[in-house]
Amino acid sequence: MRTAMERIGTMELKKTNADTASRSNSRRTGMDIVAAIDLETTGLDEARCEIIDMAIVPLNEDFTVSEEIPEFTSRIKAEHPETAEDAALRINGMNPSDGVPLDVVRRDFATWLRDNGIRRIVPLAHNLGFDMKFLLKTFPETAKVFSHRGRDSMRLALAVNDVYQRERQELMFPSASLAAVKENLGIVGEVNHRAFEDAKDAALVYRRLINLMTLAW
């Protein structure tokens, strides 16, 4: 695997400025984008818990972070901090009473979509189902904005595990958590449970996994 990782690194360096410009222009004119998303919440139950940190990071066609379209990030003040789960707050280290009101975030998100000419978002996340449950509950008006054909770096890692199990009788990723997958792919840096950084990490993991699968094709 060490050789494969080295080859992945070489592949990632073989990108020209012309290619990047072309991808970015295509994203802008197409009105549809792929974007990495991540949320920090006050707990696991979307019925009573809330989003307190969110990030939507537009990506290029090769899943690198777009330099043409700015990210959307927001620290959201919980409307019901009393429902926050202690375990969740210990993990993300956030005060649910900090941030801006949800109505302001809703307005700012609509403005961001309009100002950047975004019609539809294909979401990419690590454990996409979790994030989408919270997003659609919190922002039901965006149901037509987020595509149902999202990308999930956790599910892709599990698919790679299936291939490894069949071919080598072992798992490449003993754990499918973002931190564990990053470590196994040789990606430096801890998962810090901040939406912006974790969204970028999910995109990087997805890109590395795609490159890994390309090498085996």
Q: State residue 19's pLDDT score.
A: 47
Average pLDDT score over residue span 68-94: 97
Give per-residue pLDDT as tens, 106-145. 999 999 999 999 999 999 999 999 999 999 999 999 999 9
Give the CATH fold of the 2-216 domain. Answer: Nucleotidyltransferase; domain 5 (3.30.420)
Centre a 10 Å sphere on the Cβ of residue 135 and count the other Cβ atoms it contains.
23
In the chain, domain spans: 2-216
For residues 25, 27, 124 and 50, what is the CA-based torsion angle, rounded to 10 degrees? 110
Span 181-211, pLDDT tens digits: 999 999 988 888 899 999 999 999 999 999 9
